[in-house]
Chains A and B, each alone.
Chain A
Protein backbone atom coordinates (compact mmCIF):
# COMPACT_ATOMS: atom_id res chain seq x y z
CA UNK A 1 0.00 0.00 0.00
CA UNK A 2 2.51 2.65 -1.20
CA UNK A 3 0.12 5.60 -1.66
CA UNK A 4 2.08 8.58 -3.05
CA UNK A 5 5.77 8.10 -3.78
CA UNK A 6 8.17 10.98 -4.41
CA UNK A 7 11.75 10.88 -5.64
CA UNK A 8 14.33 12.03 -4.81
CA UNK A 9 13.98 12.64 -1.07
CA UNK A 10 16.90 15.05 -0.98
CA UNK A 11 18.66 17.08 -3.68
CA UNK A 12 21.26 19.84 -3.71
CA UNK A 13 21.53 21.97 -6.83
CA UNK A 14 23.61 24.90 -7.94
CA UNK A 15 21.92 28.03 -9.22
CA UNK A 16 20.96 27.57 -12.87
CA UNK A 17 20.88 23.78 -12.83
CA UNK A 18 17.74 21.92 -13.79
CA UNK A 19 16.05 18.94 -12.22
CA UNK A 20 12.80 17.01 -12.17
CA UNK A 21 10.91 15.80 -9.12
CA UNK A 22 8.98 12.62 -9.75
CA UNK A 23 5.67 11.63 -8.19
CA UNK A 24 3.60 8.51 -8.61
CA UNK A 25 0.39 7.35 -6.92
CA UNK A 26 -1.15 3.90 -6.91
CA UNK A 27 -4.64 4.82 -5.67
CA UNK A 28 -6.13 5.46 -9.13
CA UNK A 29 -6.81 9.08 -8.18
CA UNK A 30 -7.72 11.54 -10.91
CA UNK A 31 -6.32 14.71 -9.31
CA UNK A 32 -2.69 15.38 -8.45
CA UNK A 33 -0.93 18.38 -6.94
CA UNK A 34 2.48 19.89 -6.24
CA UNK A 35 2.95 22.05 -3.15
CA UNK A 36 5.94 23.74 -1.61
CA UNK A 37 6.34 24.18 2.13
CA UNK A 38 8.33 27.06 3.56
CA UNK A 39 8.70 27.94 7.26
CA UNK A 40 5.89 30.17 8.52
CA UNK A 41 4.07 30.06 5.18
CA UNK A 42 2.28 26.76 5.25
CA UNK A 43 1.82 24.94 1.97
CA UNK A 44 1.40 26.82 -1.28
CA UNK A 45 0.08 25.23 -4.44
CA UNK A 46 2.46 25.30 -7.40
CA UNK A 47 0.52 23.36 -10.05
CA UNK A 48 -2.27 20.85 -10.10
CA UNK A 49 -3.79 18.39 -12.52
CA UNK A 50 -7.50 17.77 -12.16
CA UNK A 51 -7.33 14.76 -14.47
CA UNK A 52 -5.02 13.04 -16.91
CA UNK A 53 -4.14 15.40 -19.75
CA UNK A 54 -4.85 18.64 -17.89
CA UNK A 55 -2.66 20.90 -15.79
CA UNK A 56 -3.33 24.29 -14.19
CA UNK A 57 -1.31 26.90 -12.36
CA UNK A 58 -1.64 27.30 -8.65
CA UNK A 59 -0.60 30.13 -6.37
CA UNK A 60 3.18 30.10 -7.09
CA UNK A 61 3.86 28.62 -10.56
CA UNK A 62 6.72 30.86 -11.70
CA UNK A 63 9.95 28.98 -12.34
CA UNK A 64 8.26 25.58 -12.55
CA UNK A 65 6.77 23.33 -15.20
CA UNK A 66 4.78 20.14 -14.80
CA UNK A 67 3.90 17.08 -16.83
CA UNK A 68 1.02 14.71 -16.18
CA UNK A 69 2.62 11.73 -17.85
CA UNK A 70 -0.31 9.39 -17.25
CA UNK A 71 -2.92 8.87 -14.55
CA UNK A 72 -0.31 7.64 -12.06
CA UNK A 73 2.54 10.12 -12.57
CA UNK A 74 2.90 13.88 -12.17
CA UNK A 75 6.37 15.43 -12.42
CA UNK A 76 7.63 18.89 -11.44
CA UNK A 77 10.53 20.43 -13.34
CA UNK A 78 12.79 23.30 -12.37
CA UNK A 79 14.41 24.53 -15.60
CA UNK A 80 16.89 26.96 -14.01
CA UNK A 81 16.99 26.60 -10.25
CA UNK A 82 17.23 29.69 -8.02
CA UNK A 83 17.98 29.94 -4.27
CA UNK A 84 14.38 31.13 -3.75
CA UNK A 85 13.28 27.63 -4.79
CA UNK A 86 14.97 26.08 -1.77
CA UNK A 87 12.05 24.38 -0.08
CA UNK A 88 10.36 21.11 0.77
CA UNK A 89 8.16 19.91 -2.07
CA UNK A 90 5.11 17.72 -1.57
CA UNK A 91 3.13 15.82 -4.13
CA UNK A 92 -0.46 14.88 -3.32
CA UNK A 93 -3.37 13.15 -4.96
CA UNK A 94 -7.10 13.09 -4.34
CA UNK A 95 -10.43 11.74 -5.42
CA UNK A 96 -13.88 12.99 -4.39
CA UNK A 97 -15.66 10.64 -1.98
CA UNK A 98 -18.04 8.28 -3.76
CA UNK A 99 -21.28 10.15 -4.32
CA UNK A 100 -19.81 13.02 -2.37
CA UNK A 101 -19.67 16.75 -2.77
CA UNK A 102 -17.21 18.18 -5.24
CA UNK A 103 -14.53 19.92 -3.23
CA UNK A 104 -14.83 17.62 -0.25
CA UNK A 105 -11.99 15.40 -1.38
CA UNK A 106 -9.17 14.57 0.99
CA UNK A 107 -5.57 14.86 -0.14
CA UNK A 108 -3.05 12.06 0.32
CA UNK A 109 0.50 13.38 0.52
CA UNK A 110 3.87 11.93 -0.29
CA UNK A 111 6.74 12.08 2.21
CA UNK A 112 8.30 15.16 0.60
CA UNK A 113 11.43 16.12 -1.33
CA UNK A 114 13.88 18.51 0.31
CA UNK A 115 15.58 20.71 -2.29
CA UNK A 116 18.45 23.07 -1.58
CA UNK A 117 19.66 25.49 -4.25
CA UNK A 118 23.06 27.03 -3.59
Chain B
Protein backbone atom coordinates (compact mmCIF):
# COMPACT_ATOMS: atom_id res chain seq x y z
CA UNK B 1 0.00 0.00 0.00
CA UNK B 2 1.13 3.52 -0.68
CA UNK B 3 1.10 6.23 1.97
CA UNK B 4 2.13 9.81 2.63
CA UNK B 5 3.16 11.43 5.92
CA UNK B 6 3.17 15.14 6.61
CA UNK B 7 4.64 15.25 10.10
CA UNK B 8 3.72 18.85 10.89
CA UNK B 9 0.08 19.90 11.22
CA UNK B 10 1.11 23.55 11.43
CA UNK B 11 4.11 25.55 10.22
CA UNK B 12 4.59 29.20 11.10
CA UNK B 13 7.18 31.37 9.39
CA UNK B 14 7.87 35.09 9.24
CA UNK B 15 7.36 36.89 5.94
CA UNK B 16 10.58 37.03 3.96
CA UNK B 17 12.05 33.95 5.62
CA UNK B 18 12.51 30.65 3.82
CA UNK B 19 9.82 28.05 4.34
CA UNK B 20 9.83 24.25 4.28
CA UNK B 21 6.82 21.93 4.42
CA UNK B 22 7.86 18.32 4.96
CA UNK B 23 6.57 15.20 3.23
CA UNK B 24 7.70 11.58 3.28
CA UNK B 25 6.18 8.75 1.31
CA UNK B 26 6.00 5.00 1.01
CA UNK B 27 5.30 3.29 -2.32
CA UNK B 28 6.38 0.24 -4.28
CA UNK B 29 8.43 1.24 -7.28
CA UNK B 30 9.24 4.70 -8.53
CA UNK B 31 6.85 7.31 -7.14
CA UNK B 32 4.94 10.09 -8.81
CA UNK B 33 4.86 12.93 -6.27
CA UNK B 34 2.66 16.02 -6.15
CA UNK B 35 2.03 19.11 -4.05
CA UNK B 36 -1.36 20.80 -3.96
CA UNK B 37 -2.45 23.95 -2.11
CA UNK B 38 -5.86 24.77 -0.70
CA UNK B 39 -6.93 28.32 0.10
CA UNK B 40 -9.91 28.85 2.47
CA UNK B 41 -13.23 27.66 1.06
CA UNK B 42 -11.63 26.64 -2.22
CA UNK B 43 -10.74 23.40 -3.94
CA UNK B 44 -7.18 22.14 -4.18
CA UNK B 45 -4.87 23.67 -6.77
CA UNK B 46 -1.86 21.95 -8.31
CA UNK B 47 1.56 23.40 -7.39
CA UNK B 48 4.18 21.02 -8.79
CA UNK B 49 5.02 17.40 -9.47
CA UNK B 50 7.97 15.03 -9.72
CA UNK B 51 7.74 12.25 -12.26
CA UNK B 52 11.30 11.59 -13.35
CA UNK B 53 14.54 13.44 -14.09
CA UNK B 54 15.97 16.34 -12.09
CA UNK B 55 15.41 15.90 -8.35
CA UNK B 56 14.64 19.60 -7.91
CA UNK B 57 11.34 20.59 -9.44
CA UNK B 58 10.01 24.11 -9.72
CA UNK B 59 6.36 25.00 -9.64
CA UNK B 60 3.86 27.80 -9.39
CA UNK B 61 4.25 30.94 -7.22
CA UNK B 62 7.99 30.43 -6.65
CA UNK B 63 7.64 27.08 -4.90
CA UNK B 64 10.05 24.20 -5.46
CA UNK B 65 10.44 20.70 -4.07
CA UNK B 66 13.33 18.29 -3.83
CA UNK B 67 12.90 14.58 -4.42
CA UNK B 68 15.21 12.52 -2.20
CA UNK B 69 14.93 8.83 -3.01
CA UNK B 70 17.17 7.58 -0.18
CA UNK B 71 15.16 9.47 2.42
CA UNK B 72 11.83 8.91 0.62
CA UNK B 73 11.07 12.59 1.00
CA UNK B 74 9.61 15.34 -1.15
CA UNK B 75 9.81 18.55 0.90
CA UNK B 76 8.21 21.74 -0.39
CA UNK B 77 10.34 24.89 -0.18
CA UNK B 78 10.26 28.58 -0.98
CA UNK B 79 13.20 30.95 -0.49
CA UNK B 80 11.14 33.91 0.73
CA UNK B 81 7.65 33.46 2.17
CA UNK B 82 4.75 35.83 1.50
CA UNK B 83 1.69 36.40 3.69
CA UNK B 84 -0.37 35.30 0.70
CA UNK B 85 1.31 31.85 0.86
CA UNK B 86 -0.73 31.11 4.00
CA UNK B 87 -2.84 28.08 3.11
CA UNK B 88 -3.24 24.33 3.60
CA UNK B 89 -0.67 22.27 1.71
CA UNK B 90 -1.10 18.64 0.68
CA UNK B 91 1.53 16.20 -0.50
CA UNK B 92 0.32 13.27 -2.62
CA UNK B 93 1.85 10.13 -4.09
CA UNK B 94 0.92 7.65 -6.77
CA UNK B 95 2.77 4.44 -7.46
CA UNK B 96 3.62 3.30 -11.00
CA UNK B 97 0.84 1.83 -13.10
CA UNK B 98 -2.35 3.47 -14.25
CA UNK B 99 -4.47 1.47 -11.83
CA UNK B 100 -2.99 3.22 -8.81
CA UNK B 101 -4.83 6.22 -7.50
CA UNK B 102 -3.51 9.29 -5.75
CA UNK B 103 -2.97 9.08 -1.97
CA UNK B 104 -2.94 12.37 -0.07
CA UNK B 105 -1.23 13.31 3.16
CA UNK B 106 -3.17 14.83 6.03
CA UNK B 107 -2.14 18.37 5.15
CA UNK B 108 0.03 21.08 6.72
CA UNK B 109 -1.38 24.47 7.59
CA UNK B 110 1.18 27.13 6.66
CA UNK B 111 0.86 30.52 8.30
CA UNK B 112 3.16 33.33 7.18
CA UNK B 113 3.30 36.09 9.77
CA UNK B 114 3.73 39.71 8.65
Give which listed residue, B42, B44, B49, B104, contacts A104 with CB less than 8 A: B49
- Report if A101-B51 is in contact (Cβ < 8 Å); known contacts: A107-B44, A109-B44: yes
- Report if A90-B104 is in contact (Cβ < 8 Å); known contacts: A40-B9, A103-B94, A106-B49: no
The smallest beta-carbon distance between A116 and chain B, in angstroms, is 15
Docked CA distance A70–B95 (Å): 28
The smallest beta-carbon distance between B13 and chain A, in angstroms, is 21
- Specify which chain B residues have a CB less than 8 angstroms from the CB of A35 in the assembled complex: 104
Q: How many chain-B residues does the 8 Å CB contact rule pick out? A: 27
Docked CA distance A95–B12 (Å): 35
Query: Do residues B101 and A58 form an inter-chain contact, with CB atoms below 8 A?
Result: yes
Binds B, one of A13-21, A42-50, A61-69, A73-81: A42-50
Say if the beta carbon of B69 comes within 8 Å of chain A: no
Say if the beta carbon of B98 comes within 8 Å of chain A: yes
Say if the beta carbon of B70 comes within 8 Å of chain A: no
Docked CA distance A43–B43 (Å): 11
Q: How many chain-A residues does the 8 Å CB contact rule pick out? A: 26
- Identity of the chain A residue whose Cβ is nearest the Cβ of B44 in the assembled complex: A109
- Report B36-62 CB contacts with A as 1/0, cut-off 8 Å: 100001111110010110000000000
Query: Do residues B106 and A42 form an inter-chain contact, with CB atoms below 8 A?
Result: yes
Tell me the B70-114 residues at the A interface (CB within 8 Å). 90, 94-98, 100-102, 104-107
Cross-chain pairs A/B with CB under 8 angstroms, 13 sampled: A40-B9, A41-B106, A43-B104, A44-B104, A90-B43, A101-B32, A104-B51, A106-B34, A106-B46, A107-B36, A107-B44, A107-B102, A111-B41
Query: Which positions in B face A, CB cutoff 8 Å?
Result: 4, 9, 32, 34, 36, 41-46, 49, 51-52, 90, 94-98, 100-102, 104-107
